[in-house]
A and B are shown apart, each in its own frame.
Chain A
Amino acid sequence: MINQKGLYDKKFESDACGIGCIASIDGIKNNQIISDSLTMLENMSHRGATGNNKKIGDGAGIKTQIPHKLLLNELSKKDIRLPSPGDYGLGMFFFPNNTKDYNKSIKLLEETFKKFNFKILYKRDVPTNDKDLCPSTLNFIPKIEQWIIVHKHYIKNEDNLDRRLYVARKYYENLIIVNSSLARSVYIPSLSSNTVVYKGQLTTHQIRNFYPDLSNELFESCFSIVHSRFSTNTFPSWKLAQPFRFISHNGEINTLQGNLNSLKSAESRFESKFFTNEELNIIRPVTSSDQSDSASLDNLIELLSFSDMDIDEVMMMLIPEAWDNDDTMSKSKKSFYEFKSSIIEPWDGPAAIIYTNGKSIGSILDRNGLRPMRYTITEDNKIILASETGVIDIDPSQIKEKGNLRSGKILSIDFKRNKVRFDDEIKNTICNKEPYDNWLKKNRITTDMLPRKKSKFKKINDFDLDIFHKVFGYSKEDIEKVIYPMTENSSEPIGSMGNDTPLAVLSKKPKHISNYFKQLFAQVTNPPIDPIRERGVMSLNTHLGNISNLLSQKDTDCQNILLESPILDDENIEKIRSIDVFNLQSKTINAYYKVDKKEGNLKKALNRLCRYVDDAIDDGYEFIIISDRFLDSSHAPIPSLLSCACIHNHLIRTGRRGMVGLVIESGDVWEVHHYATLLSFGANAVNPYLAFATIKNLRESNSSPNIKKLKTLKRNYIDAINKGLLKVFSKIGISTLKSYQGSQLFEIIGINKNTVDQYFTSTTSRIEGLDIDDIERENNKKHFHAYKEDPTDLSVGGLLSWKKEGEKHAFNPETISLLQHSTIKNDYNLFKQYSSKVNHLNKTSIRSKFDFNFINDSIPLSEVESSKNIYRRFATGAMSFGSISHEAHSNLAIAMNRLGGRSNSGEGGEDEARFKIKKNGDNLSSAIKQIASGRFGVTINYLNNAKEIQIKMAQGAKPGEGGQLPGHKVDDWIARVRNSTPGVGLISPPPHHDIYSIEDLSQLIFDLKNANRDAEISVKLVSKSGVGTIAAGVAKAKSDKILISGYDGGTGASPISSIQHAGLPWELGLSETQQTLMKNGLRSRVKLQVDGQIKTGRDLAIASILGADEWGISTAALISQGCIMMRKCHLNTCPVGIATQDKTLRKRFNGEVDHMITLIHFLTEELREIMASLGIRKVDDLIGNTKLLKPRKNQYWKTKNLDLNPILFSHLDKPKNYYNSSKQKDYLSGQLDYILLDKVKDTLENPSIKTNISIKIRNTDRAVGTILSSEISKRFGSNTINDDSINIDFCGSAGQSFGAFGSKGLTLKIEGDSNDYFGKGLSGAKLIIKPPKKSRFIANENIIIGNVALYGATSGSCFINGKAGERFCVRNSGVDVVVEGVGDNACEYMTGGTALILGNIGKNFGAGMSGGIAYIYGNKNLNNFNKSSIDLVDIDKEDIKKIKILLLSHKKYTGSLLASFIMDDIKNQKNNFTKVYPKELRRVKEKNKIQING
């Protein structure tokens, strides 16, 4: 590609999409289906994206049956006889559009067909029409041809014909892969006897005209599958468009690297009766490296399908529903999943897939249900499946059934039997095909079944313990502050105030090798998961043993050891060491190297290790234990991560990884991150013997009478690690350990490419660093400390809290007090002392390794842009009122408002009293209002008091995780602002439940723009590899600003492993973003902001040079207000009154607005001085001007090989394209609300006048009612207008976000149905929805609104005459709602309001629900409730009263038959209600009652 020098890598690209399908269940072919499906595609155009040019789409396509009639017609004109359907193959080809390559590719293809005994019957130029296309893209259009081929020996079986075509295609693909120019430009969308794919890098609107075939009446098909793509890239890539040959995928495969590795490991064992060995050699490798995740999945499905596996079974195997924790699942199904889990791990991630092999069409959803899939079945036996409802017009009277696909469920249209088969039917058939249960009973081994151990494990005595601790690099802190708390509390310790210690590669202390690895996390393109509240979908099960032949199954495939956790205690590892059943044996190999003056011993040892492992495999061992127990004064242990990854990748390369289970027995594993890295780089199980010995020693040296039993302490420790691991997987959106294993989901900072390629193959590492000899040298230091030096103590550590002898911290006693003294005394000289100390100490960060490059003459300071002009570029970070005190929070706001900068509300809402300007002119309103996953206090009024609305996708302290405000911090005030109950703890979910993908984020941006058209929308991302690509997507989604946060900033409380190990420094993320946006021509239309440990003017200058228009300051701001880096913010005990709500402590707050202003002033002055010295007059001229920096040369052995040039890479472009110089285009002009606004003018002027309107609506009308609400809020603020002042009756299918942030006074009624995010953020409006009068289906049996309805709703009411999709009422904090059935995860994290549910509920009801009440009608499956946060109680009189009122309204507004029935028979029916009572609410209420009564 163009810029190998920069940080962008095309492997970061990802996409998300709209998919859909129309099929005639009866198999009736026509062109109408195609035409309708194209309309459907056009109506989902908002789910796709365009680049900087509206005419350049990200990709769209359609898959149908082969248009036999059309071909027949064409061939008959040429007098060529076309065989019957199924007897010939149709290939769709993209060829190079230059003659030379074209001829070459044609020739090779012809040869291929010849080789496989195919005859080319006819070549057809596919007619195309490029008049709608952007001229600049015309050069990239491939030459598109269709070839009709027949086999020389007439193959009767259509499967067999396809199989042969498959082999021929693979052969051809292998031929062109070796030819680099062809590899990029030749592509085969389809080659099949029954289906064909038309696609391209087109917009959804272009495809119909581009391929005139599609509009030809002769083009007939009984089904049509469409796909529109929203990609983060904009480069020409025709082949990335979908559908693929088997699937259309809306989603993301989070575990791709692991899946590909394990597929590669399995390939060597392929055997099949459907393919000869020669053919299998052609088929291998199954996937190629230069394609998308979806394409790889497609490859695998294709192969398994051709191996005669039922396609539905294939899908169930690759995308299993959550089964391990489901007690309600049938035995046969559970056994099926369990059996299959030992054959292949899930391809995990959010997914809605429509798949077909031409004979049936199916659709499946991932276990979390993270993508929508709605279906409608019509009276004329057509089925419409799509990401949205209402995508084509259907007469309501023609609708037989409406529904949605639920998490982990499957449905299929069987053209042979002409019926739709649903989940139960499909799965029952498949799961009972074989006696999986018996197979498991016979072959599966659990640790309980293992024979007794033969050898006694070695105990480590106290003296050895000290040596071991030093050799493996333990510090006192590790023992006392990391391990000890885990044994006590069963959870990882919490820290706060970010991380100001050096990156591992910059530290002069010997580091654990895992510290060079930064955890990746989900952001925008897929959601992180809540591993606590959604534990049901998570699994820590794993298998130890080899993988069998993927292409055919037998009962012994599950002959391996099942582990419930990857952590083996000392007992179990000895059992495994001694195992001898089913001919399974294990081999222990010692991992050490000789320590002497020579280099290269480690490298030799790793080679030796691989040889030993190879020998062990040759000798038939099934389990390999890599142990580092044996060490002495001249032999050091190989870091376990290195030996593990080395062996893992060696075996993948040799195709033998699948033959053994890899167990790591190591002393250098004690904290969550160590386990995560090991598992992610291939370990199947881990025995942390030294951690256990340490716990034993802790137990023995603790004289406290309360000390728990050793067994308990060990169990607690394992629990803590298990929980921590779940958190690590869930933050990247992975649910199961099996999928996480081998996934390599880390970015490395500071290890060079050669070493990474060799040992950590395919992992991202972008700035070079240590080589294998340097790793040896670092490891030797620890060994030396243990053996060669005089007995000295263990090192103190000093990562979690500053220590004199410990790790460096940029904020230490000296710099903290200098900063405070300088701002209090307004003493710039003191500030310069501070900044020179910080910059000097700042050897902690990448930026400390840059020097300014003085290429210009310096200029006088007076010529530099004035400070006043620069202040607007400052923001403070998002710290919520709740996490910090009112005093601290409002001081920051006043200071920033005085300066013209922007303070940030944080995610806790804001007291409306602050929206009014004070008499002295001070403004306490935060200019930036944040909207985070908890949506606390996010009302239409809140949004309309913002200058900037910031969507927090992640935060530096804990990217990919949710937050929690403990109950003791929620006082009356906080509770009022957050619409919750005092004393009740509040949870923010890890994901925004309305953002599971880039197109969802685009939707939220759209919603917020509607909610406040004057505000800028910004999106906060945390630096990670690929953040630039995400930022490009965000820019395309029309965000005005993108904030790149460093991993090290962030003041929030978080598990210590997240603070230290998740995310990347902003230097990498920011410059990657700058480079990627430049590359895509998107840079100038967005502002880039950066934050994360920005402390000095030098930091500001470097940030801007790397691309930042603006900077965020948080920690330094707090320090100016008295913060002394206590790092205990989560305890509510801040002694200086900042991070606390305690009244006594708040009085101790001593911060002053002026000190903050002085800080910003000093920072600006320092920046200006730097600019003057660089000869730069304006900040704009600094932005992206990377010539002004150069990497510093240094000789320190650890850093001398760093290569920072990729960070400084810059695209050549016009200067004004380097910074923000234009605005996003307005795209609200077509909103339905403008028509409505016109009609409600009178009411807006005089609220006593009521308005009634009727109007049509369709799925492309999104966020209807939001602009209207914004106008109401702007005029009337929180004293809004009366209920029902404006009544609007809609008819049709409403688009996403109907009634979002709907204001009080609005009553919006739909006759029809509605899509996802119905009533999102409702702020007082009344929403009513019911089926059309003409419809014939039973209302309460059909889905009427989509997923994630009423998310973050704060007030109002809602009446839904039908069922809702998944995640209903998540984070509802005040809406009263009636609905007739809900999907999974309803009322999750709810904190207020009432949900009356007159029908079935899905799984995991009420998880994390801490307030509000739900009433459920009917006999319910108790397993569907998540009882960890709720109690189920009988209703009392008060409840009946409330239920009756709601039922009456429901009946009145919707005419619900069910409501009538219950009301009419309330005496009996009341017994059918169950009340869901949140435990927290109950506790607080009962406590209050006692207080009142007592």
Chain B
Amino acid sequence: MVKPGFIKYKKKNPSLTKIDKRLKNYSEFQSLLSDKDLRNQSDRCMDCGTPFCHSSCPLGNMIPEFNSAVSDNNWKEAYEILVSTNNFPEFTGRICPAPCEHSCVLGINQDPVSIENIEKQVIEKAFLKGYVKPIKKRKSSNKKIAVVGSGPAGLACADELNKNGYQVTVYEKDEKVGGLLRFGIPDFKLEKKVIDRRIKILEEEGINFLTEMCLGKNISIERLDSEYDAVILCIGSTIPKDIIIEGRDLSGIHFAMDFLTMQNKINSKLKTDININAKDKNVVVLGGGDTGSDCIGTSNRQGAKSVLQLELMPRPPLERDESMMWPLFSSTLKTTSSHEEGCDRKWGVMAKEFVGNSRIEFVKTVDISWDKDKKSFYPIKNSEQLIPCDLLLIAIGYDKPNLFFDDQYSIEMSPNGTILANEKNYLTSRKKFFSCGDSRRGQSLVVWAIKEGRDCAQSVHKYLKKKQLT
């Protein structure tokens, strides 16, 4: 019997640039596997009769299929399969938390197939080999569509509609297109040239991008309404969650996104009013998620003296437990590359007070115990600590979309502040206005944003076609 790949090969990760070296700049530091190694990794895919990976991918990526193509050395086919469900594999291949890998069948008792990296390498190969080319299509429709917001949802939606022959204009409030991808995610995870490369293609394919156009500031809902046949609001969920405790008004306390955006702008040589510098500071990051992790990486690159990350929840287990049995998403203890670059982490800790004179000097914390069943926590008596802190970054998530426009324009909001749009057809309460992505869904993953962007585009298409008939 020929040994199948999943028995023959172990999981192999691409190598990373050494820490001291990578801390010197903001570049990506993950290498690519050789073609042969990558083929072997694809060969580990078992082409399951019930592909759980495909099931748990919001986009429904045809994972076994592209793995099989890679393992056959058929890069073009792999690329075609990949983009048949995913507009921007170069983004998800870098920054997706990869629910697919969490539910990979091989992951039941072995390391799962490294799907995300394969995805990334397939699309990089496709760019290299020139498979990714702008496809210029004659506009088959005279219908005009506005997409407000150029994050992953807006881009995916615009891309799909453009491919369907509509005239698409994308409005972006910032000076460059990309939204969260460009300003929220550090370069060491997603270099901005990756975005530029894609935007260039989209532009060549005929999408019209208008930057520094902020809805509610220099463009109004009414204007959009009068000029376009359909408007899609994908303005993200950018208002951060705050922590209101004593000392919150001290200086040296910032939202993570301000910090990250600033650094991204600096790296891209863009103007920024914000100045947050971690150099030689004791940095405390509140929040144990990916944004927190990005703050750690950025702080270390700026030359922080120390970095400490505080997380409310208890330390996760090293292996799956009953609460996250396969194929559920596993929230076992995760050490990111940013963690590896140097930081302390504490779990089960709550910030109780920010201490200092005008500037923050300490964070007062208290240990907490978590009640699983009641899903609530209690402070542990006499566990208070004072932690030195010169810069505090709040990375505990996002609350809702930032509405620069006034909601008097009859676009209804949900109770939690997101734009209310139908789950199936993405229509808002206002005629011809749609919404998708985080602004509708609330804070989520890039892969969900792309998914919503695609589905919304379908719905807009149907909507316009129906209109045409009537």
Write out the residue numbers on chain A whose beta carbons fall within 8 Å of the beta carbon of B49.
495, 497, 800-802, 1125-1128
Contact with B along A1111-1133 (1 / 0, CB 8 A): 00000000000101111100111
Q: CB-CB < 8 A to B64: which residues of A?
A: 801
The chain A residue sitting closest to B1, CB to CB, is A968
> Is A563 part of the contact surface with B, judged by Cβ < 8 Å?
no
**With A and B bound together, what is the CA distance between A968 and B6 in angstroms?**
18
Assembled-state Cα–Cα distance A1142/B47 (Å): 19
| B37-64 to A contact mask, C-beta < 8 Å, 1/0 | 0000000001111111011100010101
Cross-chain contact B4 with A1133 (CB below 8 angstroms): yes
Question: Provided the pairs A793-B84, A802-B51 are in contact, do residues A813 and B103 lie with their beta carbons within 8 angstroms?
Answer: yes
Q: In the assembly, what is the distance between CA of A1135 and CA of B60, in Å?
A: 23
Q: How far, in whole Å, are A820 and B110 apart by their CA atoms in the complex? A: 18
| CB nearest neighbor in B for A792 | B458
Given contacts A821-B325, A824-B325, contact A704 B52 (CB under 8 A): no
- Chain B minimum-CB-distance residue to A1131: B4
A1148 within 8 A of B: yes
Nearest A-chain residue to B105, judged by Cβ: A1124
CB neighbours of A30 from chain B (8 A): none
- Whether B245 is near chain A, meaning CB under 8 Å from some CB there, is no
Q: Which residues of B contact A813 (CB under 8 A)?
A: 50-52, 55-56, 103, 327
Contact present for B327 and A817 (CB under 8 Å): yes
B50, B84, B322, B326: residue with the most chain A Cβ atoms closer than 10 Å: B50
CB distance from A1016 to the nearest CB of B (A): 35
**Could you tell me the dominant secondary structure of chain B's interface residues?**
loop
Chain A, residues 580-619, CB within 8 Å of chain B (1/0): the string is 0000000000000000000000000000000000000000
Mask of B3-27 contacts with A, CB within 8 angstroms, 1/0: 0101100000000000000000000
B109 within 8 A of A: yes
CA of A69 to CA of B325 in the docked complex: distance in angstroms?
Answer: 91
Check: A758 CB closer than 8 A to any chain B CB. no
List B401-422 residues whose CB lies under 8 Å from chain A: none
**Across the interface, which residues of A come within 8 angstroms of B109, CB to CB?**
1135-1136, 1148, 1150
Answer whether A1126 and B105 are a contact pair too, CB < 8 Å, given A703-B74, A805-B60.
yes
- Partner among B46, B54, B326 whose Cβ is within 8 Å of the Cβ of A1135: B46
A824 vs B322: C-alpha distance when bound (angstroms)? 9
Question: Counting chain B CB atoms within 10 Å of each CB, which of A702, A824, A1124, A1145 scores highest?
Answer: A1124
Distance, CA A1142 to CA B322, complexed state (A): 29
| Nearest A residue (CB) for B7 | A1144
Known A-B contacts A802-B49, A813-B103; the reply to A790 vs B7 at CB < 8 A is: no
Q: How far is the CA of A1144 from the CA of B50 in the complex (A)?
A: 22
Q: Does A809 contact B (CB under 8 A)?
A: yes
Give the shortest distance, in Å, between B198 (CB) and chain A (any CB). 22
A647, B72: Cα distance in complex, Å:
46
Q: Is B461 an interface residue (CB 8 A)?
A: yes
Residues of B contacting A410 with CB < 8 Å? none
| Closest partner residue, chain B, to A801 (CB atom) | B49
Contact indicator per residue, chain A 810-835, by CB within 8 Å of chain B (1) or not (0) = 01111011001100110000000000
Interface of A is mostly: loop
> Is A1200 an interface position by the 8 A CB rule?
no
A489: shortest Cβ distance to chain B, in Å? Answer: 14
A804 interface contact, C-beta 8 A: yes
Neighbouring B residues of A1148 by C-beta, 8 Å:
108-110
Decide if B272 is an interface residue (CB 8 Å cutoff): no
Interface residues on A, range: 35 or more
Q: Does B250 belong to the interface (CB within 8 Å)?
A: no
Contact B46 A1133 (CB under 8 A): yes
Expressed in whole angstroms, the Cα–Cα distance for A796 and B109 within the complex equals 29
- The interface residues of chain B lying within 8 Å CB-to-CB of A1133 are 4, 6-7, 46
Q: Across the interface, do B461 and A790 meet the contact criterion of CB distance under 8 Å? A: yes
B321 to chain A, nearest CB (A): 11
A1193 in the interface, Cβ–Cβ < 8 Å? no
Answer yes or no: B31 CB below 8 A from chain A CBs: no
In the bound complex, CA of A1126 to CA of B106 (Å):
11
B328 beta carbon closer than 8 Å to chain A: yes
Tell me the smallest distance from the CB of B106 to a CB of chain A, in Å: 6
Residue of A nearest to B50 (CB): A1125
B55 near A812 with CB under 8 A, answer yes
- Is the beta-carbon distance between A1124 and B60 smaller than 8 angstroms? no
Is the pair B328, A817 in contact by a Cβ cutoff of 8 Å? Answer: yes
Complex Cα gap A1330–B1 (Å): 48
Min distance, Cβ B319 to any Cβ of chain A, angstroms? 13
Contact present for B164 and A790 (CB under 8 Å): yes
Q: Of B50, B322, B326, which one neighbours A802 at CB under 8 angstroms?
A: B50
| CB < 8 Å neighbour of B55 from A497, A802, A1142 | A802
In the complex, A495→B327 CA distance in Å? 24
- Asked if residues B51 and A703 are in contact (CB atoms below 8 Å), the reply is no
Give B426 Cβ to nearest chain A Cβ, in Å.
Answer: 18
Q: Mark A461-504, 1 if CB is under 8 A from B, else 0.
A: 00000000000000000000000000000000001010000000
Tell me how far the C-beta of B59 lies from the nearest C-beta in chain A, rounded to whole angstroms: 9
- Does chain A have a CB within 8 A of B76? yes
Q: Does B73 contact A (CB under 8 A)?
A: yes
Q: Which residue of B has the minimal Cβ distance to A796? A: B62
Query: A441 at the A/B interface (Cβ < 8 Å)?
Result: no
B50 touches A1132 (CB 8 A): no
Q: Find chain A residues with CB under 8 A from B106 CB.
A: 1135
Residues of A within 8 A of B6 (CB): 1133, 1135
CB–CB B55/A1124 < 8 A: no
- Taken together as a complex, chains A and B put the C-alpha atoms of A968 and B106 apart, in Å, by 22
Residue pair B108, A1136 in contact (C-beta under 8 Å):
yes
Evaluate contact between B50 and A704: CB separation under 8 angstroms. Answer: no
A803 within 8 Å of B by Cβ? yes
Residues of B close to A1125: CB separation below 8 A: 48-50
B65 nearest CB neighbor, chain A only: A480
In the bound complex, residues from chain A placing their C-beta under 8 Å from that of B7 are 1133, 1142, 1144-1145
What is the distance, in angstroms, from B191's C-beta to the closest C-beta of chain A?
31
Which listed residue (B1, B4, B55, B72) contacts A704, Cβ 8 A? B72
The answer to whether A1135 and B325 touch (CB under 8 A), given A704-B74, A793-B84, A1128-B49, is no
Task: Indicate the member of A802, A1127, A1132 with the most B CB atoms within 10 Å.
Answer: A802
Return B376 CB to nearest CB of chain A, in Å.
Answer: 22
| In the complex, residue of chain A having the shortest beta-carbon distance to the beta carbon of B54 | A804
Report the separation of the CA atoms of residues A847 and B384 in the bound assembly, to the nearest whole angstrom.
Answer: 63
**A812-B50, A821-B325, A1135-B46 known; A1124 and B4 CB under 8 Å?**
no
In the docked arrangement, what's the CA distance between A805 and B56, Å?
Answer: 13
User: What distance in Å separates the Cβ of A932 from its nearest Cβ neighbour in chain B?
Assistant: 24
A1128-B46 in contact given A704-B73, A824-B325, A1135-B109 (Cβ < 8 Å): yes
Residue of B nearest to A1149 (CB): B109
CA distance A809 to B54 in the complex (A): 15
Instruction: Look across to chain A and name the residue whose beta carbon is closest to the beta carbon of B325.
Output: A821
Q: Please indicate the chain B residues that have their CB under 8 angstroms from the CB of A790 in the complex.
A: 164, 461
Give the shortest distance, in Å, between B67 (CB) and chain A (any CB): 13
Residues of B within 8 A of A1127 (CB): 48-50
Alpha-carbon separation in the docked complex, A703 to B50 (Å): 28
Closest to A1132 in B: B1
Contacts of A1124 in B (CB 8 A): 48, 50, 52, 105, 108
Q: Which residues of A contact B52 (CB under 8 A)?
A: 813, 817, 1124
5 closest A-B pairs by CB: A1127-B49, A813-B55, A968-B1, A804-B60, A1125-B50
Contacts A1127-B48, A1135-B106 known; 5 new A-B pairs at CB < 8 A:
A1126-B50, A1127-B50, A1132-B1, A1142-B1, A1145-B7
Binding site for A on B (CB under 8 A): 1, 4, 6-7, 46-52, 54-56, 60, 62, 64, 72-74, 76-77, 84, 103, 105-106, 108-110, 164, 322, 325-328, 461
A-B contacts, 29 of them at CB < 8 A, read: A497-B49, A703-B74, A703-B76, A800-B49, A801-B49, A801-B64, A802-B51, A804-B54, A812-B55, A813-B50, A813-B56, A814-B55, A817-B52, A817-B328, A825-B322, A1124-B48, A1124-B50, A1126-B50, A1128-B46, A1128-B47, A1128-B49, A1133-B46, A1135-B6, A1135-B106, A1135-B110, A1136-B109, A1148-B109, A1148-B110, A1150-B109
